Amino acid sequence: MNDLAFMIPIFAIVFTFGFAAFAVFVGAKTKQKRWEALASVQNRMLDKFGSAQEFTEFLKTPEGRSYMLVAADKSEGGQPDKIIGAVKWAAVLSMLGIGFLVLAASVDNGFVVPGVLTLSLGLGFLASSLISMRLARSWGMLKTSESDGSESIG
């Protein structure tokens, strides 16, 4: 029984880091596929034009400008997506930290240190996203809705 109790923290650590590595890998692959799809669409669009002059004329039209704005907006993500991502990380890490602290209270005190660390990371991400949102709002980086004057994230 003692050998099994020793293996639980090792399994938890390996699983946590393995899952984090898997998540980073999947995120990188998804981003790569998105870039490839965008490049493919843009290449096909450029093939439709016979010359650079035709493409320049297209970009001067309202449709051309809106196409380029949409392509630029989708390719980089922007400040609102980064803020939302930080809030997501804050929620996940805070819940993980709270889970560790609950385990420390009910099972063993060995979970106090990881609980405090992950809860601190989650609260740090939350503070970072709040500061980022406040700065982005003061710098005019967040879009405002014309209908009611309220701000939107996206």
Query: pLDDT tens, 79-123?
Result: 677 788 888 888 888 888 888 888 888 877 777 888 888 888 888
Give the per-residue pLDDT at 124: 87
Of 55, 76, 97, the domain-final residue: 76
Give the per-residue pLDDT at 70: 65
Dihedral through CA 40, CA 44, CA 50, CA 52, nearest 10? -30
Give the per-residue pLDDT at 147: 46
Mean pLDDT over residues 14-26, rounded? 88
CA 24 to chain centre: 11
Query: Domain check: are 154 and 82 in the same one?
Result: yes
Query: pLDDT tens, 28-55?
Result: 999 889 888 878 877 787 777 777 788 7
The 8 Å CB, 24+ separation contacts for 132-135 are 132/79, 132/82, 132/83, 132/86, 133/83
Query: Domain check: are 98 and 130 in the same one?
Result: yes
Q: Which domain holds residue 33?
A: 1-76
Query: Domain check: are 34 and 59 in the same one?
Result: yes
Distance between CA atoms of residues 101 and 99, nearest Å: 5
pLDDT bucket at 69, cuts 50 / 70 / 90: low
Give the per-residue pLDDT at 72: 59
The pLDDT of residue 130 is above 50 = yes
Picking from 66, 89, 71, the residue whose alpha carbon sits closest to that of residue 34 is 71
Distance between CA atoms of residues 120 and 129, nearest Å: 14
Query: Domain check: are 3 and 44 in the same one?
Result: yes
Query: Domain check: are 87 and 135 in the same one?
Result: yes
Query: Domain check: are 108 and 46 in the same one?
Result: no
The pLDDT of residue 2 is above 80 = no
Mean pLDDT over residues 131-140, rounded? 82
Of 76, 94, 125, the domain-final residue: 76
Give the per-residue pLDDT at 11: 83
Quote the number of domains for the chain. Answer: 2
Give the per-residue pLDDT at 154: 46
Q: What token pair was written down for 124? A: 């740090």
Query: Domain check: are 81 and 108 in the same one?
Result: yes
Query: Domain check: are 60 and 98 in the same one?
Result: no
Query: Domain check: are 5 and 71 in the same one?
Result: yes
